[in-house]
């Protein structure tokens, strides 16, 4: 980690500090998505303030973020294709053969199209690594593909402190609780609560 560029190190530190500040028992998806969002945006704000929005350091960070988004999108498509296989009526052995075929094809496609998809070298490893469900599941946990946190952030005036304070105010929830709704109510009060009631 000592070799991380400044923005990645800032992202990592803010991500982990967020976990120490906000943690909802039984809500792993929410905890990781929130930490991922706050870490990324906190690092962006830090880079902008420290180096300036026109600096090479800031532009490198934006390139890295674009590559990260492209990689996550690729992984999401792969997991969707695998999910369709797992949920099919195929016998187990056939599912395993199809899984191997799909992953091999995805890695070959990834290698062939790498220069078209990515600006840097950070993700080239994917075409030769051993892919398993545990690895893919990490991306499902950290990146659901829904942009509700970005939406809340916009609605709150891009006030990161306000977003974190609202998340920290959420009471402990069980596994069946809805932290997304609780965060919206904590951020936007009675208006959000009324809208939530209407949608039930």
Q: What are the pLDDT digits (tens) for 50-64?
A: 999 999 999 999 999
Is the pLDDT at 183 greater than 90? The verdict is yes
- Cβ-proximal residues to 11 (8 Å cutoff; 6+ apart), any chain: 39, 40, 42, 43
Q: What does the CA dihedral 43, 41, 74, 141 come to, rounded to 10 degrees?
A: 100
What mean pLDDT is reported for the chain?
91
Q: Supply the pLDDT for residue 174.
A: 55
3-class SS of residue 29: helix
- Cβ-proximal residues to 98 (8 Å cutoff; 6+ apart), any chain: 85, 90
What is the mean pLDDT of the segment spanning 177-186? Answer: 90
pTM: 0.83
Is the pLDDT at 67 greater than 90? The verdict is yes
What is the mean pLDDT of the segment spanning 26-36? Answer: 93
Q: Which of 82-91, 133-142, 159-168 has the lowest mean pLDDT?
A: 133-142
């Amino acid at each position: 980690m000592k070799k991380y560029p400044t923005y990645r190190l800032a992202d990592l530190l803010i991500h982990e500090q967020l976990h120490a500040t906000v943690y909802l028992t039984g809500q792993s998806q929410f905890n990781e998505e929130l930490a991922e969002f706050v870490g990324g945006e906190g690092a962006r704000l830090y880079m902008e303030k420290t180096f300036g929005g026109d600096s090479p350091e800031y532009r490198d960070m934006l390139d890295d973020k674009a590559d990260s988004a492209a990689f996550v999108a690729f992984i999401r498509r792969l997991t969707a294709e695998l999910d369709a296989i797992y949920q099919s009526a195929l016998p187990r052995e056939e599912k395993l053969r199809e899984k191997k075929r799909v992953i091999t094809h995805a890695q070959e496609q990834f290698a062939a199209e790498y220069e078209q998809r990515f600006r840097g070298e950070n993700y080239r490893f994917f075409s030769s690594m051993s892919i398993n469900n545990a690895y893919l599941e990490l991306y499902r946990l950290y990146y659901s593909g829904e942009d509700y946190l970005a939406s809340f952030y916009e609605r709150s005036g891009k006030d990161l402190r306000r977003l974190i304070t609202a998340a920290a105010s959420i009471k402990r929830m069980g596994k069946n609780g809805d932290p997304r709704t609780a965060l919206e109510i904590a951020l936007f009060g009675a208006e959000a609560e009324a809208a939530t009631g209407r949608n039930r």
